């Protein structure tokens, strides 16, 4: 059992529905993006085109964030999901330095509201308990949803169904990765991400 995600670059149009739903479902503060889409252009006019790279925490098999964590706050579940136990996190941020994918964020005491000078709105108040000043946060692969039999919010929301969630050890996902020449980002660093990309 190894939960992960396959991101089909042929189907991604860079709409950022994943970026928004991740913020909404997880209540992350301004400037924090557990899911996001890097957009670039390639080629010279008129042979130019857009390329998109949707991302999330890679939930690496050999997660450097877990091995460098001095307190055991960053840990890996048996199903492959990498999480941070806030109660153990001392905010040293070693994990952030070790992450090759810029997947982690530090909570410096984020503003309670997205609206400058305004009080937190009822939604923001309801989300407030998810944040802890002085600790590191990141994508949880929506572990709460997975434990309830749902799929991660970004996988459900994707209007072109470019985000495919499941057990990477399953035959279906293995077949899909092989048939489409799936690859891992920055595989050379050897972290063995649980996120695969299918080229366009």
Partner 1 sequence: MNTKNHVNILPEVSRRSFLKGGLALTGASVLGGGALAGSALAASVSEKTGKSSKWVKSYCGSCIWANCGTEIKVVDGVAVEIRGNKEHPSNKGTLCPRGAAQLMNLYNPYRIKAPMKRTNPQKGLDVDPGWVEISWEEAMDTITEKIKEAQAKDPRKLMKMYGFAGNLHETPFVKLFTSIFDTPNYSMSCGPLCEVHHAPAMFNATFVDRIDVGHCNYLIAFGRNLGGSAMFASGPGRALSDAVDRGMKVVVVDPHATPDASKGEWIPIRPGTDTAMAMAMLHVILHELNTFDVDAMKNRSNAPYLIDEQGDYVRDQVSNKPLLWDEADNKAKAYDDPTLTNPALLGEYNVNGVSAVPAFVKLRESVATSTPEWAEEISSVPAEEIRRITQELVEAACIGSTITIDGVEFPYRPVAVTTGRGSANNMQGMRFYILTNIINLVLGAIGVPGSLVCAANARYLFEDGMMREYPIAYYTTDREEKFSIPQNDYTIKQFYPLSRFPILGGTMGAILDPQKYYLDYDIEVFFPYGANPFINDADFETTVKAFQKIPFVFTLAYHMDETTMFCDIVLPECSHLERYQNRPIEETMVVGRDTIALNGLNYKEPAVDLIYNTRQYDDIILELADRLGLTPKLNAIYNSFYRLSGEFSLDPGKKYTYQEMLEIRLKGFSGDASKGVEYFREHGFLMKNKPLKECYEYYFFKGNGRLPIYNWRDFSAGKALKRSLDKFGVKVPGWDNMDEVMREYTPVPKWFDNYLTNPSDEFDMTVANWKLSPRNLGLGGQDDNVWLREIVETWEYDGLNIQINPITAAQKGLKTGDKVIVESQHGGTVEGILQVTNLIHPEVLGFPAQAGRVSQFMNPISHKGPNYNRLLTYKEGYILADNGSISVSARVKIRKAGVK
Residue 79 contacts residue 70 (beta carbons within 8 Å): no
Number of residues in contact with partner 1, rule: CB under 8 A? 70
43/134 with CB nearer partner 1: 43
- Quote the least distance from Cβ 108 to partner 1, whole Å: 18
- Interaction of residue 121 with partner 1, rule CB under 8 A: yes
- Interaction of residue 2 with partner 1, rule CB under 8 A: no
- Interaction of residue 43 with partner 1, rule CB under 8 A: yes
Considering only residues 9 through 38, tell me which ones interact with partner 1, judged by CB under 8 A.
10-11, 13-17, 19-21, 23-25, 30, 33, 36-38
User: Under 8 Å CB-to-CB from 106, ≥6 apart: which residues?
Assistant: 91, 93, 96, 135, 136, 137
- Identified binder of partner 1 from the candidate list 147, 183, 190, 199, rule CB under 8 A: 147
Buried b (16+ CB within 10 A) or exposed e, 156-187: bbbeeebbbbbebeeeebeebbeebebebbee
- Identified binder of partner 1 from the candidate list 139, 158, 177, 195, rule CB under 8 A: 158
Q: Strand runs (DSSP E) across the chain, as ranges?
A: 3-8, 36-42, 49-55, 74-76, 82-84, 104-106, 136-138, 163-167, 195-198
- Interaction of residue 153 with partner 1, rule CB under 8 A: yes
Which two tokens mark 51?
């390329």
Which of these segments, 39-47, 66-74, 83-91, 183-191, binds partner 1 (CB under 8 A)? 39-47
Residue ranges of alpha helices (H) inside the chain are 17-26, 64-68, 94-98, 122-127, 143-147, 153-157, 171-179
- Quote the least distance from Cβ 92 to partner 1, whole Å: 27
Contact residues for partner 1, defined by CB under 8 A:
1, 8, 10-11, 13-17, 19-21, 23-25, 30, 33, 36-41, 43-46, 48-52, 114-116, 118-119, 121-127, 146-151, 153, 155-167, 170-173, 176, 200
């Amino acid at each position: 059992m190894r939960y992960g995600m396959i991101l089909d670059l042929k189907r991604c149009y860079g709409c950022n529905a994943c970026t928004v739903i991740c913020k909404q479902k997880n209540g992350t503060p301004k400037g924090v993006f557990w899911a996001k889409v890097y957009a670039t252009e390639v080629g010279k006019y008129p042979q130019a085109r857009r390329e998109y790279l949707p991302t999330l925490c890679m939930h690496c098999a050999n997660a450097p964030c877990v091995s460098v964590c001095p307190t055991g706050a960053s840990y890996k579940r048996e199903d492959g999901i990498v999480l941070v136990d806030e109660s153990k996190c001392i905010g040293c941020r070693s994990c952030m330095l070790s992450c090759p994918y810029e997947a982690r964020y530090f909570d410096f005491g984020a503003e309670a509201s997205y609206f400058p000078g305004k009080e937190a709105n009822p939604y923001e108040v309801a989300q407030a308990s998810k944040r802890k000043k002085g600790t590191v946060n990141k994508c949880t692969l929506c572990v709460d949803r997975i434990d309830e039999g749902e799929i991660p919010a970004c996988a459900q929301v994707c209007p072109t169904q470019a985000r495919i969630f499941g057990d990477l050890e399953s035959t279906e996902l293995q077949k899909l990765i092989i048939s489409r020449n799936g690859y891992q980002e920055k595989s050379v660093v050897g972290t063995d991400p649980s996120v695969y990309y299918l080229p366009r």
